[in-house]
Amino acid sequence: MNLKDKIKQRAAQIHEEIRSIRHHLHQNPELSFQEHETQQFVEEQLKQIGISEVQRIADTGLVAYIRGTDNGKTIALRADMDALPIQEVPGRPYGSKNPGVMHACGHDVHTTSLLGAAKLLNETRGEWSGTIKLLFQPGEEKMPGGATLMIRDGAIKGAHSIIGQHVMPLLPVGTVGFRSGLYMASADEIHMTVKGKGGHGAMPQFNIDPVLITAHILTSLQQIVSRNASPIIPSVLSFGKVIANGATNVIPNEVKLEGTFRTLDEAWRAEALEKIKKMAEGIAESMGGYCEVNIVHGYPFLKNDERLSADAKTWAIDYLGADKVHDLDIWMAAEDFSYYSQEMPACFYRLGVRNEAKGITSSVHTPNFDIDEDALLIGAGLMAWLALKELGN
């Protein structure tokens, strides 16, 4: 039996085992940078697999090593471990036991898949050459992003390239998706406080209305994208929170706004953020008010290495069949895997988890999110196969 068929067969044999791991992780979610019990559990699982070379890193992260028959080159496989502050819908036998905390973004799936891949790779280590680093990363959901801490502490030192996967509820179970080149956006948070002079709504002549100023700012800022951005550079400017704590007849002293700016070009990113700040401040000043602007810089854009991603797609077709491998569009969400992609050749691909017949269709970051657990077969097996092919086996 060749190595590919051995990986596929063994992935099917351990399916129930890795399902139970996923259930444990899903029942015991921990928020970003608080993954102490998760870290302990993953470390124990690695040792049960027979992987003894395990290092705690980035406080609640782990790096483990699987070494083949000779040194060869080194590659990294990454999974994130943190959960979100979301209350899961009740009634699931494997539902979260931690009130208000849920694996609503599939990080339990990512961690389970990497543990499954680790088992497959460790069992076959006498049949391939090279070294594989397993990165179990904390804090993807919260800035500055656990990837920055992993890189800081040397997690990718010596690695030639890195591969990661993420669940995608838009893709049917049994399929995966790839994109070469620019894939995901940078993400910055914009916090504004528009200050004026509050008073009675019936006497606006005595007030400086921050609500009206805010309305002008919100409308005008959209021209940053529509009239300043190059049409060939994807850009998104959205405000999702506006608080004007007045009343029907009370003009407040201030209004607070929160939003996000996303793009796929670092030079334009810096220019746009400066334009947003100057425009908001200028509009407020011209109307007699004042605007405080605080921009929190988030993750950079994610660029998949052209060579690695094209190869990974070819290897996935070989493993799954052409009908199971899809091309992805640019996605304006953000991921701290982008930090790895800024440092080394990287491939971040998508794992299909959708099953309409079973009612599994909810998006990530929702209380209803779930997966068809048949996805774990591919989550573990394909990742192991991609690692072996990238090592040259």
Query: How far apart (Å, rounded) are the C-alpha atoms in residues 384 and 34?
Result: 28
Contact by Cβ (8 Å): 372, 353: yes
Which two structure tokens, joined as six digits, stand for 173?
């179970």
Question: What DSSP assignment string belongs to 134-155?
Answer: EEEE--TTSTT-HHHHHHHTTT
- pLDDT, tens digit, 9 for 90 and up, residues 98-129: 999 999 999 999 999 999 999 999 999 999 99
Measured in whole angstroms, the distance separating CA 57 from the mean position of its chain's CA atoms is 20
- pLDDT, tens digit, 9 for 90 and up, residues 303-339: 999 999 999 999 999 999 999 999 999 999 999 999 9
Give the angle subtended at the CA of 318 by the CAs of 316 and 319, to the nearest 5°: 65
- pLDDT above 70 covers a percentage of the chain that reads 100
In the chain the beta strands, taken as DSSP E runs, fall at 54-57, 61-67, 74-80, 131-137, 161-172, 176-178, 181-184, 188-195, 199-200, 235-243, 250-251, 254-263, 290-296, 302-304, 325-327, 346-354
- pLDDT above 90 covers a percentage of the chain that reads 98
**pLDDT bucket at 254, cuts 50 / 70 / 90:** very high
> What is the pTM (predicted TM-score) of this model?
0.94
**Residue 65 corresponds to which amino acid?**
Y
| Average pLDDT of every residue of the chain | 97
Q: What domains does the chain contain, in order, with CATH numbers? A: 3-183+302-390 (3.40.630.10), 188-296 (3.30.70.360)
Q: What is the pLDDT of residue 71?
A: 81
**pLDDT bucket at 27, cuts 50 / 70 / 90:** very high
- pLDDT, tens digit, 9 for 90 and up, residues 173-208: 999 999 999 999 999 999 999 999 999 999 999 999
82 included as an active-site residue? yes
Measured in whole angstroms, the distance separating CA 82 from the mean position of its chain's CA atoms is 10
Measured in whole angstroms, the distance separating CA 14 from the mean position of its chain's CA atoms is 27
Residue of 35, 80, 82, 254 marked active site:
82
Residue of 140, 265, 305, 372 marked active site:
140
